[in-house]
Structures are given as structure tokens and as C-alpha cells.
Chain A
Amino acid sequence: MKNIIEVKNLTKEYRNLKAIDDLSFEVHEGEILGLLGPNGSGKSTTINCILSLLKFSKGSIKILGKEMKPDSYDIKKDLGVIFQEVAVFEELTVYENIDYFCGLYIKDKTTRKKYIKEAIELVGLEEFKKFYPKQLSGGLLRRLNIACGIAHKPKIIFLDEPTVAVDPQSRNSILDGIKKLRDQGATIVYTTHYMEEVEILCDRIIILDKGKVLATGTSDKLKELAKIEEKVTIEINNLQPEQIEKIKQLENVDEVNYNVGNLIITYKKGKNNLGELIEHLKKENIKYNKIYSERPTLNDVFLELTGKELRD
């Protein structure tokens, strides 16, 4: 598989703090690579270093086989960037904003017009072309932000937490749009601290914390690192300590936590754990409201690797 981006031993220091610590990874052609990590884990700093906006202490960055520099215009013409904060002109309409940023890449007016139309359709802003940014909701503004970054049809797209503070409808629209861009042939680097998004969207995931790569792989591969097979959550009122002790004795049970009417049981292995648990509850005459079983999540992986929750 062809490497579109190659980051080797990247280190970025702010005085005594290492924001990125010897980071190395590749982005393959046509994939969506997710950079997953809590706030402050170095996701945005990594993107800004790759884009040659930030100085870095050590390492090398190659895009399309060439070293990335601030004046690498031949590389930059193939890049599209959607920053975490909305980067548009308040004084320009939706159409004018997209035209301005697209015009920095595409000189030909006819081509540009066609591309702008397609970008507006992709993010679903057809009815808002003449609106000014302040007239748009937060979700629509995020969509405009995306349109400004991708209208010129870049080969490589960087999306830095594009769904922060976005309503569910706009979020779905944004995620659908990103899938379409990938289907059209773009290679995408997607940073987020929402694990659900990377699970839905990304072909490969890099989990970052404190500027270091903790793990890399597909969602399924990473979940194997969680060392648990199943997690069952039951809503039970007034569970007695002796009843909890009996549950701990059940086959394959690894850990039992009871907190505010919620019993969480984790299993390291086994196939019919839920069935056996229900049987036990019936036998012990324990009344419960809800019961559901989950496969391990990326949060469990993060918990396993760092001892803390992803959103801590």
C-alpha cells in the first residue's frame, strides 16, 4: 500500500513539555486514518507540524514522497484542511467564503464554480448560499468550515475535530460527507476524541496520549488489547454485598462493580456469559430493570493502556 504521508520520529517541545514525543506513523493512500486521544494528547499539534505551521524539534515529515516545507506549494495544492475552530470570514456569504478559499487553489473560474456547487451540495448548504456566517447555526457553520476546506477537491484532507459542539443531525451529515470524500478517492486524516466516530469512520486508528502513540490498528484489532470479551450492565436496586460476592463467583467473571444502582460485570472470555447471568439472577430471585451486553469499546482499550478514561 502506498504511503501518502510519512511521519518519522516527530518531536515537538514547548519549553520543558513534550507535546509530541518521538511520533512515527504512515498514512496509506485512500484510507481514513483516525488520530484518537483525549484533549491535549497532541493531535492538533501533530496536524500543525505536518502542515508546516509549527516548528518541531526533531523528526521528518514527507507528503507524497517529498519533504514538507512552508513553501512546498506543489504539495499544498493537494491538501485540504478543516481546522478545529471555524475559519471563515464573517463579512463574506457562504458562497463567497467557499469561493475565496477555493480560489487560492483553483484559478479557472468555470472549474471553480462547478467545484463550489459540488462542495455546497456535499455539505448540504444549498439553501444557505447567500447567508452570512453569523446567520448560521453552529452545525451549519461547521459544514461551511468543511466546504471551505474541501471545495478544491484535495487528494489529502486533514480534519481536526470537525464535529466538536455540533448537533446530531449536522454530525451525521458531516460524517456522511467525509465517507463520500473517501469514496471519491481522498486520503483522510481525522482527529477526534469521540471514539464512536473513529469506529464508524476510520479504516485505521492511532491512539495517542501525551504525544505518544499508544496503539495502532483497526478498530477490531485494537479492541483485542482491552483484554476483556464482554461487558454486561444491569440496573438493580438494593443489591446486597453477599449477592455481589455470589456473582463474582460465576464462571469467567473478571470484575464486578456496583455503583448507584448499576452493576457492571466484565468477562475476559466465554461465549454465553449473558445467558448464565440471567439464569443466576432468576435463581437468586434478584429483580432487575434493564440488562444489556457490550463488546469492549475503544474507551476500554484506552483504559487498559493508560488507566484512565478517554474523556478524562
Chain B
Amino acid sequence: MFIHNFKYAFKTLFRNKMLIFWTFAFPIILGTFFNLAFSNIENSEKLDIINIAIIDNEDLKLDENKGIKEAFEQLSDEQNEDRLFYTQYVSEEKAKELLENDEISGYLIIEENKPKTVIKTNGINETILKYVTEQIMQTTKIVEDLATEKITKEIQSGNIKIDYQKIYQDVLDIASQDNVKIKNISNTNLSYTMIEFYTLIAMTCLYGGILGMTSINNSLANMGEVGKRTSVAPISKGKVIISSLLASYITQLIGLAILFAYTIFALKIDYGTNLPLIILLSLTGSLAGLSLGIAVATLVKSNENVKTGILIAVTMFGCFLSGMMGITMKYIVDKNIPIVNKLNPASMITDGFYSLYYYDTFDRYFFNIASLLIFSGILILISVRGLRRQKYDSI
């Protein structure tokens, strides 16, 4: 019975032209457009050293923000193979002039002990400057918090001879092991095209929701006529739903496999050595997409067309916030309303992809995998309440 239902669920999904368009054709069409649109920007895959300025005067107390200063010095060091910036220390007026003349991508100013980046336009260099600044801020905060914690513990334990040098070294060791360590990205193939392809994969993963929603609609009596007929058959609802969702998930994975094959072999996209991790993230992302579809199908009381519209709108909006129409959007959301992207599965997926490029360790990558699993688990748990219902008030 399970195989019988699985077989026909698979057939119905594969023959549904609307589903095939959204899950198979649309990402391929979009990928082709991305490739055409961004191929001109792909002349240089390696990032150049970025010209920036840091405002340095007595009022701004740059010396009191050692962490920031040292980090930028290190990233601007000529001897450093991973050099990211060419940094000039200038007055604010001079920095404005340099920015106006496009001699720098942006400048950094310390205000109330917080660094603020000033840019003229949105571009990859500007985005990297903002991103690195954010990461340095996070690292600095971690170091400060760790040091404060250690010193407080020492004081509480009655130690009056505190070895500040040792504490400082211990904290640095911890921070250097943490996921905040910025990886050299000057030699990676991170580019506009890659960023767009990551969001494209994220979108494809989430479009799996349409497949999940269709499966649910065909299984439940309150969702449609086929669901009514299935519900009066001598087969448990769980068996019907699980076999249908499995068929949806496999269909979704086939769609992703086709997308990967197309981008790798036809569009010559190089996913580098991280392909297995990208695939793992895609599998998890697809599960999140499927769960989103199940939740919309179960919780939204409306017809199938309205539900499909809601699902596509949510997915597209999620992808927009995660940077599909411009990476700056992801930065703006991360900075101003971080909770939105913490709950946005598209952002979890794209962030997982970025983390493979930005960090030496996989902590942040696995954090995103875990977030996606938790997201899927919560949605499935919420949906189960509706799915478990045996009888309805109205159908």
C-alpha cells in the first residue's frame, strides 16, 4: 500500500506541469538569466585589494579601540598573504574627498566606540568592508566579554594578583579557535554570480514546499475531493501522507540534482571543493522547504491556488531578504532586524553557503544546518496537530 501510494504520488507530481515549472524549469531559466547578466562581471574571479580609509584624529579616539585598529592593520598588512585592504588613515574631510573621487570604496569612522562604515554605492567591495567590520565588532565583543568574565571569576575567587597578560593570551586563543576567524577570501571564486546561485539554490530548496503542499492537499478530506476519496479508503492517513511526502522530497531532490548538473556542466559554475557540503545544505534546505509547504497546506484555510500564491510569495520574499536581488539587502536585514533572517529559511541556506567561503571552521555552517532542522521540526510539529485530525467540523 505504501509503495502503491508512493508510486502514484510520484507520477502525479512529475506530470503536474505547474509543479514541474516551479521546481524544475523556473530555477534553470533564472540560473540562465543570472549567468547572462553577471557574465560580464566575471572577468576577474579574484578579489582585488580594496582601498579604504579610517578616520584618525584625537576626538575619535581610535587608539581606545585597539581591537578594531589591530584587526584592520592585520588585514592591511603588506606582508600578509591574505591581505584584504589597502588602508589610509586620514581626516574625515579627506576621507569624504577620497570617497567622492572613487579612490576608496568606503571609510570607517568610530562613533561612541562603535565603528560605522560610510560608502557611496553598493557593490561587492562595499559589502565586504561592511561585513568585515561587523565580524571584527563581533570578535571584539567576544574578546571583551571573555576577558571580563575571566577577570570577574578571578576577583570572586579572591585572587588579588591577577595575571592580565595570561588572561589576555587565553582569551585570544579562544577567539582564534572560534568561528569568528575571517578566512582569506581574496583567492576564492566568490563573486556576484556565486552569490546569486546560492540564493537560487535556496529558492529551489524552498520551492519544494509546493510539492509538499500538493501531497498534503491530495491526502486530507478537508483539502479537496481527492483527499476525501483517499480518506474513506481503508489505509491510515499517516501512511498516505508519509509516502506522498517522501515522493515529494525525492522529486525535489531530482529537481535540485538537475539544477546542479545544469549549472556545473552547462553554465560552468565552479562550486569548488565544497560541493558535498553544498549538497548537504541543499538536502536540509529542501526539508525546510517541504515543511514550509506542509505548514501552509495545513494551517491556511483557503483553496489550493491561494495557498500556492502564499507559498511562492513567502519564498520569494524570504529570498529577497536573504540577498537574491542584491547582497546588500542581507546585510541591511542582518544589521537592523537580525531576528528576521534568523527565522528566514532562505537566509539560513544562503548564510550556510557564505559561511563555507568566509570561515575556516564549519561551526557557522553547521549552525545553519541545525537551524534549518529546528525550523523544519517546529513547522512539522505545528502541522501535525492539523494533520492528525481525523474528523472535520466542515469540509
Contacts and interface: CB of A to CB of B under 8 A. Distances in A.
B392 A92 contact: no
Interface string A146-186: 00110000000000000000000000000000000000000
A256 interface: no
Interface stretch (B8-16, B109-117, B148-156): B8-16
A86 B226 CA distance: 8
Contacts of B5: 103-104
A81 B390 contact: no
Contact of A92 (B11, B236, B391): B11
A91 B16 contact: yes
Given A71-B390, A96-B8, A48 B395 contact: yes
For B14, B218, B225, B391, the residue with the greatest tally of chain A CB atoms inside 10 Å of its CB is B391
A71 B236 contact: yes
Given A52-B391, A70-B391, A92-B12, A87 B233 contact: no
Contacts of B225: 83, 85-87
A167 to B, nearest CB: 21
Contact of A55 (B4, B229, B231, B392): B392
B40 interface: no
Interface string A46-88: 0010011111000000000000011101101101010101111
Interface in A120-170: 148-149
Contact of A76 (B233, B390, B393, B395): B233
Interface string A92-106: 100010001101110
B235 interface: yes
A101 B229 CA distance: 8
Interface in B233-272: 233-236
Contacts of B11: 91-92, 96
Contact of A53 (B12, B218, B228, B235): B228
Interface in B369-395: 390-395
A271 interface: no
A107 interface: yes
B160 interface: no
B311 interface: no
B351 to A, nearest CB: 36
Given A96-B11, A104-B235, A148 B229 contact: yes
Nearest to A52: B391
Chain A facing B: main interface SS: loop
Nearest to B224: A87
B221 interface: yes
B370 to A, nearest CB: 36
A109 B178 CA distance: 60
B391 A55 contact: yes
B304 to A, nearest CB: 12
B226 to A, nearest CB: 5
A14 interface: yes
A26 to B, nearest CB: 21
B339 interface: no
Contact of B12 (A76, A87, A89, A104): A89
A105 B391 contact: no
A188 B357 CA distance: 67
Contacts of A149: 229
Interface in B270-305: none
Given A48-B395, A96-B8, A73 B234 contact: yes
B229 A76 contact: no
Contacts of A69: 390
Interface residues of B, number: 30
Contacts of A105: 233-234
A91 B287 CA distance: 25
Interface in B1-49: 1, 4-5, 8, 11-16
B232 A76 contact: yes
B234 A92 contact: no
Contacts of B228: 53, 81, 83, 87
A54 B392 contact: yes
B133 to A, nearest CB: 52
A14 to B, nearest CB: 6
B236 to A, nearest CB: 7
Interface in A20-67: 48, 51-55
A100 B8 contact: yes
B230 interface: yes
A76 B236 CA distance: 11
B229 A70 contact: no
Contacts of A100: 4, 8
Given A53-B228, A91-B15, A92-B11, A104 B391 contact: no
Contact of A52 (B15, B224, B230, B390): B390
A105 B233 CA distance: 7
Given A73-B235, A91-B15, A104-B235, A53 B395 contact: yes
A264 B308 CA distance: 56
Nearest to A15: B393
17 contacts: A14-B394, A51-B232, A53-B221, A53-B231, A54-B391, A54-B394, A71-B390, A81-B229, A87-B225, A89-B8, A89-B12, A89-B218, A92-B11, A100-B4, A100-B8, A103-B4, A103-B8
Given A73-B234, A96-B8, 18 more contacts: A14-B394, A53-B391, A54-B393, A70-B390, A76-B233, A77-B234, A81-B228, A81-B229, A85-B225, A87-B229, A91-B12, A91-B14, A92-B11, A96-B11, A100-B8, A104-B230, A107-B4, A149-B229
Closest 10 CB pairs of A and B: A87-B225, A70-B390, A91-B15, A104-B233, A73-B234, A76-B234, A77-B234, A87-B229, A91-B12, A103-B4
